[in-house]
Amino acid sequence: MTAVTWIGELARYLGSWLPRPLIVVATHMAVKFVRGKHARVLQPGWHWYVPAMTEIVTRPVKQQTIALPGQPAITADGKDVAIGGIVTIEIRGPEEFYKAIVDCWEIDDVIRDLGVAVLNEFVSEKELAEICSSRRSVNTELTRRVRSALNAYGVYVIRAQLAPFGRARTLVHVTNFTTPDLTGYEEE
């Protein structure tokens, strides 16, 4: 390492101990982890932090939509369907933000995984005709169920709905396995 590189690294290290400004925009909140363990929620506004001792995590808290991946399911009357969903969420306050960021590893994964689980459970309890006949009541019940599942994580569900939803056929793709090369192999 050359002397100039070494001096640059030393200056960068010493500079990391100087306080720096942080602006949290109105659509976000942040969590400041001091020395890796003390978590403090930062509301929108101007804040200071010391980079050498602090890690900052920011996330939008205003209304946002998360698409739930499509998957096959079976209704209560044994019909194959393809389901997916859309969940509209927001995080309403500092306590909820703390739950979403500090008390859980990756909130987007939790929202997606629990949302898909609730959709699958819901569809398996209903007959196809019942789901197709009253989408409004279906979406109202789905919203209530997904909201209940995500409430413990600080996430408020504004709306949940099936999208896409429809009849499906289950196809099994079998690959054509190649015959192993038996060159040099002798039978006994």
Give residue 174's pLDDT band: very low, low, confident or very high (50, 70, 90): low
Fold (CATH) for 64-167:
Tetrahydropterin Synthase; Chain A (3.30.479)
pLDDT over 90 at 8, yes or no:
no
Residue ranges covered by each domain of the chain: 17-60, 64-167
Rounded Cα distance, 103 and 10, in Å: 36
State the pTM of this model: 0.79
